[in-house]
Structure 1
């Protein structure tokens, strides 16, 4: 999975972020331990969750 940066997450809609979050969670679960793909998926999850946390509810 491609790493989603904080900047990229900020430019996406909330609905898009929820979709990407699901993809990142699946990629994390399927990736081998210690792999770059797993690290990228985890960083993506963190970036998306951080962005969702600062958005007002309902947007």
Structure 2
């Protein structure tokens, strides 16, 4: 999975972020422990979650 940075997450819509979160979650779940793919997916989840946390619900 391609790493999603906080900067890239900020430029996406909330709906896109939810879709990316699902994709990153599935990627992390299916990747081998310790692999670069899993590390990227986990870092992406962190970036996406942080961006979603700063957005107001309903906007």
Q: Same fold (TM over 0.5)?
A: yes
1:46 Cα offset (Å): 0.3
Aligned Cα root-mean-square deviation (Å): 0.4
CA distance in 2, matches of 1:26, 1:33: 13
* Structure 1: gaps (5+ residues): none
Following TM superposition, the consecutive aligned residue runs of length 4 or more in structure 1 with deviations greater than 2 angstroms are none
TM value normalised by structure 1: 0.98
2:41 is aligned with 1:57? no
**Count of residues in Structure 1 that have an aligned counterpart in Structure 2:** 59
Equivalent residue, structure 2, for 1:19:
19
Gaps of 5+ in 2: none
